[in-house]
Amino acid sequence: MKYLKPAILVTLVSLTTGCTSVKNWLTDTPNVKNTKQSTDTLVVPESLNAPAKSTEFYLANNSKTAKNSEVITSPSSVLEIFQGSWVNSDDSHPYKIMLEKPQQVDDFSPFIEQGVNGLINSRGYNLLNSGDSHRIEVIKTVEVGFWFWTREVETERFVFDLTYNVQPHGRSGEAFVTPVKLEMLSKTHAPKFSKEYRTQQLAIEMLNQFSLELDYQYRVVVQKQRVLTDVSLVLGTNPAGDSVITSQRDILFVFKKLEDVLEDLGFNIEEEDKKLFLYTLTYDKNDKSIWGSAFGSEYQNQLSLDAGEYEAVLVTTIDGVYIQFTDKEGKPLPQSQVQEIYNLIIKVVKEEEIEL
């Protein structure tokens, strides 16, 4: 058993020399070097000892209303949608954009006036009077009920002045909205905001809609110069490489106008989703109903599509509004079928003078 003695001796030496490296693992003694930095006093700049606190949402004792609840600023923002538009930060007017004439536009004032008319007509607003400014009435509605018992309820009446000015040189100008009146028409269904807050929201919404309309008018000018037509529809592809039809019109306007066009082509609209801008369709070119024969379009049932379910979905992109057709499984239709649909849509649009 003599051979065990060297092994025992080596083990004892290892434990003795190793104790210095593990002693701190076995005790609660803190390492001074590791804790010195955390125990230093935090130096705070003198100006931060009493930071200012907003009283906007402060509730006094036994109060249910914030002190400044009537002056909460709207979360909406004026958007620089129209090419060349910008917001002057030095101007105190809260609902104003500055405008620069695009190179493709010849006369700026008629161009802007056309934008005002487009805003009113495409959205069903009412022009009360015009002069130095355009006084416009907007009736807000909401759909209530379900299934066959849905109905639209008027919730608000908003009246505002839309004013634009063009500099004498004709290359720049400004446009702004001045709220005139806001009435609640349905206490039950109207948004639950203070009158001042809601007025701010609607004023900015109207200015942004006008900017969208100007942007559309500009894209139509560009499109006319490109294809020498008053129809902005073109056949193209989306980023995924699928064939789509592109419109330079506002998506709400395209969605509304597309309904009649689809029916003229022989599609039956089974369902429409106004939030997703989606039409669920059925098509059967062999459908020879008396109603269709008597009142249908001459272009009805000319598509060589298989009988079945289809979908038409609209998406807003930087290139305009994409109109994509898919089968019931969601698979995009091939280029040849989209081309066929596009050709007939162009015939219907030009014949009925629909602006798309």
Residues 6+ apart with CB under 8 A from 335: 243
Among residues 55, 93, 94, 89, the alpha carbon closest in space to that of 74 is found at 94
**Chain Cα centroid distance, residue 8:** 80
Q: What pLDDT band is residue 26 in, cutting at 50, 70 and 90?
A: very low
* pLDDT tens for each residue of 139-173: 999 998 888 888 999 999 999 999 999 999 999 99
- CA pair distance 185, 106, nearest whole angstrom: 43
- Tens-place pLDDT, residues 56-110: 556 666 665 555 444 444 446 888 888 889 999 888 899 999 999 998 898 999 9
* pLDDT score recorded for residue 15: 45
